[in-house]
Amino acid sequence: MITNTVTGAPERLSFGEAFAYWLKLGFISFGGPAGQIAIMHEELVERRRWISESRFLHALNYCMLLPGPEAQQLATYIGWLMHRTWGGIVAGVLFVLPSLFILIGLSWVYMAYGNVPAIAGVFYGIKPAVTALVMHAAYRIGSRTLKNAWLWGIAVAAFIAIFALQLPFPVIVLAAGIIGYLGGRYAPDKFSSGGAHGKAAKSLGPALIDDDTPTPEHALFSWRRFSRVLVTCIALWSAAMGTLMALYGWDAVLTQMGWFFTKAALMTFGGAYAVLPYVFQGAVEHYQWLSAPQMIDGLALGETTPGPLIMVVSFVGFVGGWTKAIFGVDSLFLSGAVAASVVTFFTFLPSFFFILLGAPFIESTHGNLKFTAPLTGITAAVVGVIVNLAVFFAYHVLWPQGLSGHFEWASAFIGAAAAVVLFRFKVGVIPVVLVAGLAGLALTFLRPVFS
């Protein structure tokens, strides 16, 4: 990268330099979407000055409107803006690829050696900490979203709908969106609590893509390009799904995974925690690809690896492929690895679709975007859905044999301690999970001494 010594603004950026950064980001993107976005802001806006803060936030506000992981979509957007379509594909793929490989390795260890006392002990401690993390996520989203009684009412109704009435997650999302649309028309002041990040607060110096930098030619909107991207993305999805159907049939595990996680990818408004109840309903209860305790363990692995949290679906795919032995009992690792890859492909394909299709239009506006009223309603419903998820986790962690079985006092203590450090002391996710895992490991070795 060449830097202008007078202004300090970078003059050009090679594809190789960008590739190296996106690869690095894939290995260091810990901390959930907030942490990942902060990492990109520090590197791309403040230190490297590849993009101005205003243009960065403009792209982020669009990504926050979309279903899917906003940090991964933001990387795709910026990569596309700098180096055309392949720049966006490389940035988006490298954001998740290291996490996929790491999760396949950890999932194999989990399935092959999960019954070893030491590993089982670590997960015994992690499970209650994950329950506290989910409740903390509900609090974070709720504190930003539930600004009035109307939105509180939607959150409570969503909790009742999924907890007591056991309505499917898509039905709840649709109902919340309709309520938000009507509320936006008849009570707009109640549904204007958008999630946009606002305007840039200060200038950080000239950037390669600055506030007044003309939109690159490849980023200009045209119906011809729009149609080409639309046809290409639909063709890619159809080819992948058609191949699975031709090889294995519609009812096969891999085909059903592709279809199910396509639908899941279109419902991730509000982040990964919002769609997890839907994944639970499908993967655990309907398809029985894995058990509820295994799902909790997978979420713990997703919390402690780089990449977006929605990568927990790769664990679901691996365990499902292994459990169903889709390539035979002698090829369990291959079964799991292929299923994890299939699930990841179908989960993230829509993210590339939304960016490559819609980003040229967004670049042509250069205005601040806001959440629409329907999305505000959906986000409020997400809070109730996540609280239900926390209740579900707590039940399986504290009463592993059901309410008629024994109560896990040690798990309750670990979960309470994790909640205190999360809510009161604002400790990060990874330290909480690691300490909880060590506590579980210690209990494994201490129990025989005191029994």
DSSP structure string for 189-230: GGS-------S--S-----SB-TTPPPPGGGS--HHHHHHHH
pLDDT at 305: 80
Please tell me the distance from the alpha carbon of residue 290 to that of residue 1, in angstroms, as a whole number: 48
Cα 172–297–446 angle (5° rounding)?
A: 140
Distance from C-alpha of 95 to C-alpha of 93, rounded to nearest angstrom: 5
Q: SS3 sequence, 132-160?
A: HHHHHHHHHHHHHHCCCHHHHHHHHHHHH
CA–chain centroid gap for 364, Å, is 28
As a whole number of angstroms, the distance between CA 69 and CA 182 comes to: 27
Provide the angle, in degrees to the nearest 10, between the axes of the packed helices 117-145 and 70-113.
Answer: 160
- pTM beyond 0.85, yes or no: no
Beta bridge partners of 2: 12
- At CB < 8 A and 24+ separation, what contacts does 109-116 make? 110/297, 110/301, 110/319, 111/318, 111/319, 111/322, 111/332, 111/336, 114/297
**Confidence at residue 198, expressed as pLDDT on a 0 to 100 scale:** 44
Residue 321's pLDDT is: 96
Q: What is the DSSP string of 331-381?
A: -HHHHHHHHHHHHHHHHHHHHHHHHHHHHHHHHTT-S-----HHHHHHHHH
Please tell me the distance from the alpha carbon of residue 103 to that of residue 108, in angstroms, as a whole number.
8
Q: How far from the centroid of its chain's Cα atoms is residue 130's Cα?
A: 15
Beta bridge partners of 209: 51
Q: Are 301 and 99 in contact (CB under 8 A)?
A: no
pLDDT confidence of residue 368: 38
Residue 366: the pLDDT is 53
Beta bridge partners of 51: 209
The answer to whether 376 and 191 are in contact (CB under 8 A) is: yes
Predicted pLDDT of residue 174 = 84
Query: How far apart (Å, rounded) are the C-alpha atoms in residues 169 and 380?
Result: 14
Q: Which mean pLDDT values do the consecutive 10-residue runs of the chain (451 residues) have?
A: 49 86 85 71 85 80 76 93 94 94 92 78 83 82 84 94 83 86 84 51 69 80 90 95 96 96 81 76 91 86 80 94 94 96 95 90 57 73 82 84 86 92 83 87 75 56
Residues 104/340, Cβ–Cβ less than 8 Å: yes
What pLDDT shows up at residue 190?
A: 82
In angstroms, the CA 260 to CA 290 distance is 15
Residue 195: per-residue pLDDT? 42
